[in-house]
Amino acid sequence: MANTFIQPEPSPLALLLLGHGSDADTERGVECPGALPAPSDPDLVSRAQAAKAALGNRVYILGHHYQRDEVIQFADVTGDSFKLSQQAAAHPEAEFIVFEGVHFMAESADILTAEHQQVVLPDMAAGCSMADMADIEQVEECWDLLTELGIADVTVPITYMNSTAAIKAFTGRNGGSVCTSSNAERSLTWAFEQGEKVLFLPDQHLGRNTAVLDLGMSLDDCVVYNPNRPRGGLTDDELRNAKMILWRGHCSVHSRFSADTVDEVRERVPGVQVIVHPECNFDVVSRADVVGSTEKIIATITAAEPGSAWAVGTELNLVKRLAEEHSDKEIIFLDRTVCFCSTMNRIDLPHLVWALESLVNGEVVNRIEVDADTAHWARVALDRMLALPGVASAVQPD
């Protein structure tokens, strides 16, 4: 079958505004220091090849599935954020870990790798808008409120991998765990064995979808805590009665898909199967045929019958790559407009070349370092996830 992938139209929303600015305290990051090569430099590919060859085993490059082709071609391994951090830890000979991903991923890599390994994020402005939606001061304020109401003791905090190291450490300190989109159901099941309620951070959609569609709760069991409103915008009784307290965060990319886009593609492409990421909203996930992490989406499409048609609701770089790699299947992007993760896209070839050439010249630029106390408690939360039945074996390094 010829490649039938249809390029979506440009987005009417200014998603590229994300990642601008210079606030070092947020996931939106800061401007890069130093002189970047010009994007028009025709030698960028050969410069990246030469720098990588010069560094040899001293560098290990991690490429998240949502990264651009122009940088993913230099990745030593591709995957989701947790798998990539584990792969970095499995290569202790590499003193430099270059993360083609976003800031919280580089933090996780620093937490999981050895002391002598230094993690580099080629563009410090590559943050994550979802991770930015849970600020540690706001989360501590929420926990103080639950303590005041006498329910903190029976609440287990669970944070999605897509959160800052400070939030992971908060969950570690307070008896909670990290989860990924692959093991959210197991993490929540564990949490409800430890307590009566869960505070789920920072993605309300993953929390709601897992609680309702996998654990059989009702939508009424869930409340949404809005950190920008007094007492989360909830009454004391709403907080006392809820089983799932969902933080009001979301992914700017996956929340763009709507129930209409699912209905529309089913009308337009008879027999199409809809596969979406659980960061999509409840209406989208409820209408989909398959729901799963990026790794599950890739595995499902790889195993699908030739000639089958798939509408995919996840980041566009990954969907385009799937369409190129599976030209025997019809791969359709679930939205009609462009839906890149703008902050992921900030890692481009000029930044990669700059980071690698700096390492060749003996200068470690854009190092991501998590302080020892935060790293310790974040590691506690990550280890609780790894101790869940079946999780460690599912995420062993390749």
Which residues here bind ligand SF4, judged by CB under 6 A? 66, 102, 128-130, 162, 251-253, 315, 341, 343-344
Nearer to ligand SF4, 66 or 377 (CB): 66
Task: Give burial (CB, 10 Å; 0-12/13-18/19+) of 22.
Answer: exposed
As measured in angstroms, the least distance from the Cβ of 342 to ligand SF4 is: 8
As measured in angstroms, the least distance from the Cβ of 284 to ligand SF4 is: 14
As measured in angstroms, the least distance from the Cβ of 298 to ligand SF4 is: 15
Contact 254, 205 (CB under 8 A): yes
Nearest to 134 by CA among 154, 104, 94: 104
As measured in angstroms, the least distance from the Cβ of 372 to ligand SF4 is: 26
The DSSP string of 217-275 is --GGGEEEE-TTSGGGG--HHHHHH-SEEEES---TTGGG--HHHHHHHHHHSTT-EEE
How far apart are alpha carbons 321 and 72 in whole angstroms?
A: 11
As measured in angstroms, the least distance from the Cβ of 387 to ligand SF4 is: 25
Nearer to ligand SF4, 253 or 272 (CB): 253
Nearer to ligand SF4, 51 or 284 (CB): 284
As measured in angstroms, the least distance from the Cβ of 309 to ligand SF4 is: 24
Give the residue ranges of DSSP H helices in 304-396.
316-325, 349-360, 372-386, 391-394
Handedness of CA 177, 181, 182, 188 (dihedral sign): positive
Nearer to ligand SF4, 128 or 380 (CB): 128
How far apart are alpha carbons 125 and 347 in whole angstroms?
A: 9
How far apart are alpha carbons 117 and 332 in whole angstroms?
A: 40
Nearer to ligand SF4, 145 or 385 (CB): 385
Nearest to 357 by CA among 35, 76, 88: 35
Nearer to ligand SF4, 155 or 249 (CB): 249
As measured in angstroms, the least distance from the Cβ of 130 to ligand SF4 is: 4
Tell me how crowded residue 6 is: count the other CB atoms within 10 A of its CB: 11
Nearer to ligand SF4, 344 or 353 (CB): 344
As measured in angstroms, the least distance from the Cβ of 28 to ligand SF4 is: 11
> Which residues does residue 368 pair with via DSSP β-bridges, in sequence order?
119
187, 221, 287, 332 from 215: Cα distances, Å = 11, 11, 17, 30
Nearer to ligand SF4, 94 or 341 (CB): 341
